[in-house]
Amino acid sequence: MDRVTLRGLRARGHHGVFERERAEGQTFSVDLVLFLDTRPAAGGDDLTRTAHYGIVAEEVTAIIAGEPVELIETLAQRIADQCLKHEPVQEVEVTVHKPDAPITVPFDDVTVTIHRARG
């Protein structure tokens, strides 16, 4: 499988278990790896036969900014489901970053990474 990678897609969301997270919101970042066969698109130089990463980026940031969820695992799953709606995409790896997670000790980032395939 070939890969199309998007890193650092950012949007403000209101996800989290705590009321403060829901009320104030925070910036979430997402990295994606879309697994697909790029040969049909490359062979005909045809955008319609690949994943249009501009559209994917807009859809993902809309999910981040959209309906709040408690868990970033749920957010990652929603993003994966949307990516797999693009016909050429056979598998997707989604990493959700929550750098402002409510943790009481020093840390750099919290991430959840999932890998999903069609079927």
Q: For 69, phi and psi rounded to 5 degrees?
A: -130, 165
Question: pLDDT tens track of the chain, all 119 residues?
Answer: 999 999 999 999 999 999 999 999 999 999 999 999 999 999 999 999 999 999 999 999 999 999 999 999 999 999 999 999 999 999 999 999 999 999 999 999 999 999 999 98
What is the distance of C-alpha 104 from the center of its chain?
26
pLDDT number for residue 81: 98
The single-letter code of the amino acid at 117 is A
Provide the CATH topology of domain 2-117.
GTP Cyclohydrolase I, domain 2 (3.30.1130)
Write the burial class of residue 38 (CB in 10 Å: 0-12 exposed, 13-18 middle, 19+ buried): middle
Single out the catalytic residue among 98, 109, 117, 119. Answer: 98
**Domain spans, the chain:** 2-117
Please give the structure tokens belonging to residue 61: 């940031």
**Active site annotation includes 85:** no
* Span between the terminal Cα atoms of the chain, in Å: 16
pLDDT number for residue 119: 82
